[in-house]
């Protein structure tokens, strides 16, 4: 479906044109916004463009791998990731009070980033393996598979990443058919244990939550980000101030304007209309992901496609939600638009998997 007409072409054989178009449009939007956010810093824009090219390369590569192969690497990838996370906990470099990076001598890596894809792969693989004999115990095992990396990442501490991985794992659980009753029970128990969770949070994390409730409480500290971003967005109005005309952006009132808060730049300059178009663009990609998931041939592919799509949505919602002041400030980038190579690669890796699911011949079981 929706294959390019010349799908037989070697280069585009496994590429989903629909997804690619959406991705490229979003990337173009990202570069345009970044150009403004960095005050026409062409070096930054070029470096982001290179990030995008690399990520597109990764996507192409993954799209070309048949799902059976991807399935096979799920367990080793997960095991390696977990090992590396343990290494981080033991020997990781401390940066800004958080232990997230592992120095391998040659390069520094952030294993939590790897887990964003490894965890759903692993869980989907597990459910696929036990598809025919799914019991309550299997959900327990899957939950443990999820909790181990999430807790390690929470300890780093990196609330944003932990949240994203937890949600990607939860999506796998959800789509594998976890009973509503259990979910309700867990939700109630979770709600009841909120005070306990609160006591476990770090001060800065609590502050973020408190700041969300009342940004003016700490207007020059933690609340500053949200206050300035809501001013930027609000003052953009319906039509926006125009490209490179955002005063909040160009007079540096907006913090983190090329990374986590880039949406405020976009929104200030392109207004409500721009926001609407951006949401529609994202929705198109999400819809495509849902279609791919619905038509996926196996339990593994179904679960992985659905999880990737909903995680993509989660990124968007959490990022925009924090920028417009309805969610706490957590370090979640705006997919395909925020500056940064790692998240770009992770994101397109996911899209590569979606494409692979969609474009490889479907070996329907039965």
* Closest distance of CB 299 from other proteins, Å: 8
Between 51 and 275, whose beta carbon lies closer to other proteins? Answer: 275
Looking at 76, 140, 237, 242, which residue binds other proteins (CB under 8 A)? 237
366 binds other proteins (CB under 8 A): yes
Between 64 and 249, whose beta carbon lies closer to other proteins? Answer: 249
* Closest distance of CB 306 from other proteins, Å: 6
330 in Cβ contact with 255 (< 8 Å): no
Tell the residue number behind the tokens 């890596």, with chain if given: 109
Looking at 32, 186, 324, 331, which residue binds other proteins (CB under 8 A)? 324
> 244: phi > 0 → left, psi -120 to 50 → alpha, else beta; which?
left
Q: Per CB under 8 A, which of residues 143..172 are in contact with other proteins? A: 171
126 binds other proteins (CB under 8 A): no
* Closest distance of CB 134 from other proteins, Å: 6
The 10 Å Cβ neighbour count of residue 263 is 26
275 binds other proteins (CB under 8 A): yes
Looking at 140, 190, 234, 242, which residue binds other proteins (CB under 8 A)? 234
Q: Which stretch binds other proteins (CB under 8 A): 39-47, 67-75, 191-199, 275-283?
A: 275-283
The CA distance from 320 to 314, in Å, is: 10
Q: Which stretch binds other proteins (CB under 8 A): 12-20, 36-44, 189-197, 294-302?
A: 294-302
Which among 288, 242, 292 is positioned nearest to 268, based on CA atoms? Answer: 242
Between 314 and 356, whose beta carbon lies closer to other proteins? Answer: 314
Looking at 48, 156, 267, 311, which residue binds other proteins (CB under 8 A)? 267
Looking at 26, 232, 334, 357, which residue binds other proteins (CB under 8 A)? 232
Q: Per CB under 8 A, which of residues 66..125 are in contact with other proteins? A: none
Between 6 and 135, whose beta carbon lies closer to other proteins? Answer: 135
HEC profile for the chain? CCCCCCCCCCCCCCCCHHHHHHHHHHHHHHHHHHHHHCCCCHHHHHHHHHHHHHHHHHHHHHHHCCHHHHHHHHHHHHHHHHHHHHHHHHHCEEECCEEEEEECCCCEECHHHHHHHHHHHHHHHHHHHCHHHCCHHHHHHHHHHHHHHHHHHHHCCCHHHHHHHHHHHHHHHHHCCCCHHHHHHHHHHHHHCHHHHHHHCCHHHHHHHHHHHCHHHHCCCCHHHHHHHHHHHHHHCCCCCCCCCCHHHHCCCCCCCCCCCHHHHHHHHHHHHHHHHHHHHHHHHHHHHHHHHHCCCCHHHHHHHHHHHHHHHHHHHHHHHHHCCCCCCCCCCCCCCCCCHHHHHHHHHHHHHHHHHHHCCCCCCC
Between 29 and 299, whose beta carbon lies closer to other proteins? Answer: 299
Looking at 174, 209, 243, 331, which residue binds other proteins (CB under 8 A)? 174
290 binds other proteins (CB under 8 A): yes
253 binds other proteins (CB under 8 A): yes
β-strand pairing of 108-109 with 93-95:
unpaired
* Closest distance of CB 202 from other proteins, Å: 27
Tell the residue number behind the tokens 């924090």, with chain if given: 322
C-alpha dist (Å) from residue 113 to 117, 241, 321:
8, 35, 22
182 binds other proteins (CB under 8 A): no
Q: Per CB under 8 A, which of residues 13..42 are in contact with other proteins? A: none
Between 197 and 283, whose beta carbon lies closer to other proteins? Answer: 283
Q: Which stretch binds other proteins (CB under 8 A): 16-24, 264-272, 331-339, 346-354?
A: 264-272
134 binds other proteins (CB under 8 A): yes
Between 26 and 345, whose beta carbon lies closer to other proteins? Answer: 26
**What residues make contact with other proteins under the rule CB under 8 A?**
132-135, 171, 174-175, 177, 228, 230-238, 247-248, 251-253, 267, 271-272, 275-276, 279, 283, 286-287, 290, 293-294, 299, 302, 306, 310, 313, 317, 320-321, 324-326, 365-366
């Amino acid at each position: 479906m929706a294959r390019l007409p010349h799908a037989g072409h070697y280069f585009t054989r496994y590429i989903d044109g629909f997804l690619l178009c959406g991705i490229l449009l979003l990337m173009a939007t990202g570069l345009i916004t970044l150009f403004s956010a960095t005050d026409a810093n062409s070096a930054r824009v070029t470096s982001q463009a290179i990030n995008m090219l690399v990520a597109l390369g990764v996507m192409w590569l993954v799209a070309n791998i048949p799902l059976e192969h991807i399935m096979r690497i799920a367990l080793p990838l997960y095991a390696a990731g977990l090992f590396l996370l343990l290494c981080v906990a033991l020997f990781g470099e401390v940066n800004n009070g958080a232990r997230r990076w592992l120095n391998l001598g040659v390069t520094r890596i952030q294993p939590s980033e790897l887990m964003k894809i490894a965890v759903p792969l692993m869980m989907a693989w597990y459910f696929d393996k036990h598809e025919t004999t799914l019991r309550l115990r299997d959900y327990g095992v899957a939950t443990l598979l999820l909790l181990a990396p999430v807790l390690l990442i929470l300890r780093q501490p990196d609330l944003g990443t932990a949240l994203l991985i937890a949600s990607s794992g939860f999506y796998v659980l959800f789509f594998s058919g976890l009973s509503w009753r259990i979910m309700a029970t867990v939700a109630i128990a979770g709600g009841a244990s909120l005070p306990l969770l609160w006591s476990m949070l770090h001060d800065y994390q609590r502050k973020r939550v408190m700041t969300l409730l009342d940004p003016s409480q700490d207007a020059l500290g933690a609340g500053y980000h949200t206050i300035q971003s809501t001013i930027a967005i609000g003052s953009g109005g319906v039509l926006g101030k125009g490209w490179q005309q955002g005063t909040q952006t160009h007079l540096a009132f907006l913090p983190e304007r090329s990374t986590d808060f880039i949406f405020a730049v976009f929104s200030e300059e392109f207004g409500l209309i721009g926001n609407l178009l951006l949401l529609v663009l994202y929705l198109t990609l999400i819809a495509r992901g849902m279609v791919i998931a619905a038509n996926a041939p196996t339990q593994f592919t179904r679960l992985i496609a659905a999880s990737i799509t909903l995680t993509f949505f989660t990124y968007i919602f959490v990022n925009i939600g924090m920028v417009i002041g309805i969610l706490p400030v957590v370090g979640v980038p705006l997919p395909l638009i925020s500056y940064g190579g790692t998240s770009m690669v992770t994101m397109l890796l996911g899209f590569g998997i979606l494409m692979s699911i969609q474009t490889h011949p479907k070996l329907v079981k039965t």
